[in-house]
Structure 1
């Protein structure tokens, strides 16, 4: 083998370089037949070496040894190059027929050049693989240690859930287990505890692998992390999946995938699908029920907020006995603050740690005021709690779905929202297009509610009614209000004083910035004045004590689309100014004293 077709000219170095370049390129064609012969011979020798090495490795594995990862890589590469050689040899006859003048010319120079170059490069690769020597092919099998995850110092309220999850995972019929729940509810903590249990009870698994996936799914990063955990070296991107698959298919493994936001294609990564035959397991956490379905989890496990007693225990643990004992009234105030967290471990932990140094009644009452009026004002709420929950909002598909979620924050805390009424509001506001028929728009509304429930942003209440109401977790509601106010920069964009017992309209600095207002379930009797609400699109004031509305009140609300005054028994008249609401699409006067409109 060699590039025997060459010539030299007594010229300067530049001419010599050109000469050598031409010599090399022409050599791909001129030496084609010789290189093909060498390729066949060397490949036969390589296959013989592969067979001998495979026999040797199998014999050592039968003795309980474990083949080296570099052997696995070499065997996989030989299998790949064998296919490439077969493809080249299939085209051999056609390519040789193109040559004439003893291989100096070709009927298709471009085709012959490409083919000749590929033969030459493949031959070099075969020679390189054939020249690799292995003194050691296997070693004593070692079970990798489980890398324990560092947990919080105190974990409260997950004992039952951990026991349930551990027993479920150990069942023979369970290959993939998914755990879902809202952000901050403790899914990662639970997954860490399951991981750590394998350090106590290995259950026959060769590898326990932990990978954090997060919002942006990067397949190659997951592959690299798994390869690192099982001791495989780096490979080209195109070969990583095959390398992992061929290694893992002979092992029993548990793969933990924390915080996934979309389907993770195990085949694309190179992870064998868990079955009852291979006895492997994949466990993941997500905020979305839909992701559980896409991952083919038949019975996903919901991680729920803590009940009130357990939540108080966690909160008090974070606050500490020294602070709780600093004033007789503080334990009572602590119960009020803990209740504001609605069992969400993230909020209980962050707020509890913040309050641990507050040892006066005034400080605790101030905290309660902040959490009640505008929770984003509370220390650490805007930095550590709301941004984490906002990831779920950011992951919603479509701005209209996001707008629908924010609209739900207009209702009072823990309010059971009637789905049909909510959808009517969305249609009235134009968030859902009603121009193609009400039934079609309503179906779209139910679809969006389902999306929000599956994203753990709304909670569906199970009741004996045709369509169960939904509600927002209080901390999710605070997140929605924070987002609606442009992350706190425009606090008057969403005015929500719902269900707080107000007797008068709140004082607003700039009515022109208000886009939506909810004063439902209050004790306001009179709507006086003529506020210039040029941007207002929704005004909700149902279920109250409203009696009188001034004639000028609606004069400056040109964009108002939704007006709900229902369930105000003492309201008997509407002012003439209601006729100025030229954009109004939805008006609800049911269960009022109004019997006719002028």
Structure 2
């Protein structure tokens, strides 16, 4: 074995001395097979040194993230390259070890040794360059969450303004650390919370964080939304993510606005620093909205406010705005009939808006009388124990029934396949309708135009909401109503194709929604 090693070194030295320096590259290529072990060892050593630098940089990044900083792009790129190079080192080592023979550390396969040695030499140069670049003065940067204000419109009613001022007083009061806003779906809780967000973002010293809980809320979901919307660094799990969020918020005033909460959630596990209230001169506040007063109790709310429907005067004003003066004054009887319709809607803003849009352009008093009759008869389907929410669905069903075609109705129902409070990409929605057989496009040049037309009609009916130029959103009450229509009332007629595994399974509406709701598959709203 010593003889093989000795001969290898002797031959290498002899060749190197014999070949003139003017043909250095040729000399280097000639000696590669005989320097394979040296080159591989050198690569292993220099990579070990790189790994130590990588560990130091990674530790700095983790410490910075615990302070609420975010790893900068140069460091991220460097760490990714180090991981890639270390993987390539393993490949070279594996190739080398396979070539070893029982006679020492020299292999007689010169061609294989040549390539392994050459790759090791080249990779050593790359590793050295990475080592030189790994001397970072800073590894992370401070980010300032840039959350834009919400659009809430200009139609503010006195009751909403009074509710806003009352909640703002609670926020200013150090005794109230968790504040609850509750009331039935569609009554205006989210709008009120968005106005709180806009006000405090403009005129307070709070860092304001707005997150939507929704029905399927979890610690992981809230952490994910905080990272997406507010730019927090990414942790490796729930605990590390909570530490990052907590360290960022720990030494500042913060106001967490938690919308649409359905059950108790451990805010400390999310990363919200406790205790709340006034801590070391820092104000820590949480305001949540929920349909259920019991959730306020579970969350240990210190002060709560129930949001109720509009008073008759402002309810009629909102309804009239959506119907339009031209329709209201088109016949002497319609104004009084409109008042009767408003009475049936109990001041619920969502119902006033959607049904108001449904009555737009209806100038025959008999149409209004029929609408009142339908709204009143909806109560015949109720039983004493019917939840308050279900009463809303019966009212909102009038807007659904007023859609001009079964095609449009089915397209509306298909929107409920997306998760709650999820932005729906318009193009994906149209493609979904096509896939479900709800929309047929005959013109290949303008294949999406009919879908955009249907989206426009659903927006005009206030059954969908605009979410920027490319997305729409379904109000959670509207989505609940759509699912209720499918499961309870039994709307039939959507023939769709749902993908389960590699098979396409034809199914009706009830099966489509049930399948999507089971969590086995969700249509993605974004690219």
TM-score, with structure 1 as normaliser: 0.43
Hey, which of these two has a bigger chunk of helix by percent? Answer: 2
Q: Which gives a bigger RCO, structure 1 or 2 (Cα 8 Å, sep 6+)?
A: 2
Which has the greater radius of gyration?
1
TM-score, with structure 2 as normaliser: 0.49
